[in-house]
Structure 1
């Protein structure tokens, strides 16, 4: 352990927890969480939170936990101005709280996957600049855990990998799916029917996989064309593997 990691003052440290299996967390993230005096994590109101579940049994009994509860999740459409206003206020409030703690102590913020890859922490990171020292510990992304669960490489040779979000318009999803070799679609959820139609339009539906809760308890891996469901759990990713040049 370095002197920087044993110093207990003046830092906000966001640790990437990986795709869900605690054993896929980095050694450094594990060490920081176990030694933390303050641990903060996002969660939906009334829910324990996935990040908190991943680290169950790792947080010291004397540590202070800070549950950052979203003011809204799916109750309001994400493109509604009120949605943005509520979330902006939430992030600003917690940036101030974390900065106040970091004035005298370290606070570890938990983030599933990698914090800088669609992680909620990026909204705090932007607001903490100039207010407190910030450090980020990268983690294995959720998509990496999911494509490994299929047992197939996501890319070969010169394959181009495209990462999309299921919130994009159907026509845009179809256009981008048709113009790439390998594909990862995040934020599927209730967008699954739209995504299925887009992949069919692009001629990629038969090659698509749906991975739910990758590396977590209850993981399922199946062909998307065989998945008879109108939506997918929050932790779901759709994949299309590349078929590039092979030696």
Structure 2
């Protein structure tokens, strides 16, 4: 029997109309659709493709065993997630062994800070895997801001808000253009770091870029409120131009 293929399909930043033609075709024709979600939630990726799946498509929900319950720097975090990704890999491989293809829905781009990367590293050499790239969430965010993120020779720096504040400050100090992702509960640390390096007034906060509820505000005008996980902080470059 011919082995099936696992497709890691990038959905883009959130608006279904920003998917690639190939992603749209694969999703609409898929017999098996897998996606990550938090327990008790429908899942962001699944929500993006609502109304696109075949009536008889088999849905495979891969529910994270932890999200914020255990700190990412706790040794148990890596242990728990490693077991989770191994179990997901086994489930998907079992399907492909019967000749079935599986589409794995990936928010943003599959190879850009996405959960699918952890499956891909375990699937290589075991199953046939194809990756469908996509527009990243940060691209959706800077487009929503209405300003180019880089000019001329600007160097773009992408930071994870989970970094220690000292590391954030070091990178922020030298960045021409800056994207900070994985904000959520880290927003106060981001505000403090930007203030420390004197760049707070340059920063923009983009929430739910390209999705319903999108907001674009100066970070200084957002007050000290909490922000959702799907938020990105931007500092636009101002480099060489004609």
Match of 1:92 among 86, 91, 115: 86
Show structure 2 runs of 5+ residues with no match. none
Residue 246 of structure 1: how far off its partner (Å): 1.5
Match of 1:229 among 215, 224, 232: 224
Question: Which residue does 1:77 correspond to in 2?
Answer: 71
TM-score by length of 2: 0.97
Hey, which bits of structure 1, 4+ residues long, moved more than 6 A? none
Show structure 1 runs of 5+ residues with no match. 1-7
Is 1:159 equivalent to 2:154 in the alignment? yes
Q: Secondary structure at the match of 1:164?
A: strand
Question: Which residue does 2:34 correspond to in 1?
Answer: 40
Matches for 1:86-235 after TM superposition, within 5 Å: 86-103=80-97, 104-235=99-230
Match of 1:54 among 48, 58, 68: 48
Match of 1:18 among 12, 17, 20: 12
Contact 2:3 2:128 in 1 (8 A): no
Question: Which residue does 2:236 correspond to in 1?
Answer: 241
RMSD over aligned CA atoms reads 1.0
Q: Secondary structure at the match of 1:124?
A: helix
Aligned length: 240
Structure 1: distance between partners of 2:173 and 2:198? 7
Higher mean C-alpha deviation, range 183-192 or range 78-87: 78-87
Residue 16 of structure 1: how far off its partner (Å): 0.1
Spell out, residue by residue over 1:188-223, the C-alpha distance to the aligned partner (whole angstroms, 9 max, x if none): 111101111111111211010010000000001101
Q: Secondary structure at the match of 2:158?
A: strand
Q: Secondary structure at the match of 2:76?
A: helix
Structure 2: distance between partners of 1:102 and 1:200? 51
Q: Secondary structure at the match of 1:118?
A: coil
Structure 2: distance between partners of 1:131 and 1:148? 39
Contact 1:190 1:230 in 2 (8 A): no
Higher mean C-alpha deviation, range 220-229 or range 117-126: 220-229
